[in-house]
Amino acid sequence: MGPQSPPSDLFSPFLRTPQTVLKNPLDGRRTFTKTPVSPESDSPPFDPDFDKREIKKQTHRALLLILGALIALVLTFVGIFLFYDVPMPDDSTLLVTDQELRPPPASSPTAGNPLADLVNALKATNLKRADQLQSKARSLEPGTEAEVRTFLATQGPAFTAFDTLLHQARPDDWRWPELGTEPPINWTGESASSIQNIAFLIRLRSRLELADGHWEKSLHSLSSLIQLGAALQRRPGTLIHHLVASTTQRMGESGLEAALTLQPVPADRLGELQQQLTGLEPDRANYERTLRIEYRCFKETLHLMVDAADLRSHHGTKLLEPITPLLLKPGMACTVRFQHDQTVIAALQQGWKEGLRQQTTLTDEFQERIQPLTRRLLSSNPVGDYHHLQHTASAKSIFARNLIDVALHRQALLQLALRRYQLDRGHLPDDLAVLVPQYLPETPLDPFTDLPMKWLPATQIIYSIGEDFMDNSGSFTKPANRREPDLGMHYWWGPSAAKWREEERLKSQPTPKSPKKKSTKSNAPRPTTPTPP
């Protein structure tokens, strides 16, 4: 059979694969080869950069998706940062009612508010002149007695108003004028400042009476000052009111040493004074109420706390000042404050020591948490954080001072009991336990340990371990000072205390100026010494 002839052109359209006819130049035979053809006759030619463009297109698409996700994330964060807030906490267990701020029914229809009457009477006097006294006169240093006596002579109306309050009005009828009658937004420190001024006047008068030799008058002034401070601590008030009240009581008790050691005091008189002081210790329940009043004041004045200067101080930058109002979240701020105060109050109900420890722990933890600048910048409630930081720092300091006042009050009671024991027995005891029950109903406890107060008979020192909760074996340089290693006192009638008082008296004495020495140098020219050759 001869060579196969190629298919006719008639059937070529029906062939699946086109064929190309090639002629062999040697033998003249024709061969057929298949030519690959795209299913679509109009397809573009092969492009070698096609894959690169596809990869680039997919990369752009992925980048756009990532960028969109980032923008959505940033917008979400900004929205949360500026507008999100948590609901207000259920703080019904912490709020104080108006009834708690008002006094019980008055003893008579015309009783009114004696403390407000005192504050109004003090406003009418020129009490601001107390700030005009020189520092030496305020401390009654030697040589300033005449100036102080002249100044106190102008304060007769203030002393009259003070005596009226203390001796003709029941303390149960007292209340701080602004509390209970005004919303917390209108509360001011004016009444607390007035009480602080009259306390200073009474303390200065007692010093002058002591310098003039009027021992009984001085002791009476100190006792009235102690009674005023103790009574005010039992009245509802803020931390500022409580601080002024406790400081007033402490001013009176700190003056007892000088008054009682000036001349011999019989044991029965010391017993009367000890009896007066026994029921005047600050109460934990009153301090708990003070914390609840502080929370109410904080909650109702929260909207006034937006301050760009505070925010700049907290962040160290001005970038957030334009949006300061959006950076105070009431719900977050009240939640943090509520949890803090609720924890402190629960610990306070267990004891003074537990309350201070909890207050210190929470304050330190919060300060450490917001210490990094990045943490402050990323906070959605920086204004609330700033004010909570300010509150915890001041509350910690006032709490510690209150506990120090409790410890010093108990040490003053111990001083009187030790002196009575010494007058009766002729010597001091080696152990405070022997004072019970004749001279004390029980041994006073150190509020920082809830253990008996420390007594060192060899050195005649009474001490508490103080707010650092560390026992330094009664080490201190200045008695009754919170900045010393231990919070202690010398026995007032002992040689160490007498030495300390004498050293303080010498320090207050004006230092005599030494006369200038006349110069012995002559203005005559010195003889010149010939220079050797």
> What is the gyration radius of the CA atoms in the chain, in angstroms?
43
pTM summary value: 0.80
pLDDT of residue 513: 56
Q: In 10 A of CB 413, how many CB atoms?
A: 21
**Tens-place pLDDT, residues 412-430:** 999 999 999 999 999 999 9
Best CA proximity match to 299, nearest among 256, 332, 322: 332
CA-CA-CA-CA torsion for 27, 30, 33, 35, nearest 10 degrees?
Answer: 130
Alpha-carbon span 405 to 400, nearest angstrom:
9
Find which of 103-112, 128-137, 515-524 is predicted with most confidence, using mean pLDDT.
128-137
**Tens-place pLDDT, residues 281-314:** 988 999 999 999 999 888 888 888 887 777 787 7
What's the DSSP call for residue 426?
Answer: S
Best CA proximity match to 163, nearest among 204, 198, 215, 127: 198
Higher pLDDT, 46 or 382: 382
DSSP per position, 78-119: HHHHHH--PPPP--TTT---HHHHSPSPPSSTT---HHHHHH
Looking at the predicted structure, is the pLDDT value of residue 11 above 90? no
Helix axes 190-211, 215-233, angle to 10 degrees: 160
Alpha-carbon span 89 to 441, nearest angstrom:
45
pLDDT of residue 530: 38
Looking at the predicted structure, is the pLDDT value of residue 493 above 80? yes
Best CA proximity match to 197, nearest among 171, 233, 164, 159: 159
DSSP-based three-state secondary structure for 473: coil
CA distances to 32, 199, 208, 252, 280 from 273, rounded to whole Å, are: 135, 20, 21, 12, 12
Domains of the chain, by residue range, sit at 89-263
Looking at the predicted structure, is the pLDDT value of residue 15 above 50? no
Looking at the predicted structure, is the pLDDT value of residue 529 above 70? no
Looking at the predicted structure, is the pLDDT value of residue 496 above 70? yes
pLDDT of residue 525: 42
Cα 277 versus chain centre, distance:
29
**Tens-place pLDDT, residues 43-79:** 566 666 767 777 888 888 888 889 888 888 887 777 7
Q: Give the confidence band of 14 by pLDDT, cuts at 50, 70, 90.
A: very low
Percentage of the chain modeled with pLDDT above 90: 48
Looking at the predicted structure, is the pLDDT value of residue 462 above 60? yes
Looking at the predicted structure, is the pLDDT value of residue 122 above 80? yes
pLDDT (mean) for 115-138? 77
Alpha-carbon span 304 to 307, nearest angstrom:
8
**Tens-place pLDDT, residues 227-277:** 999 999 999 999 999 999 999 999 999 999 999 998 899 999 999 999 999
**Tens-place pLDDT, residues 385-402:** 988 998 899 999 999 999
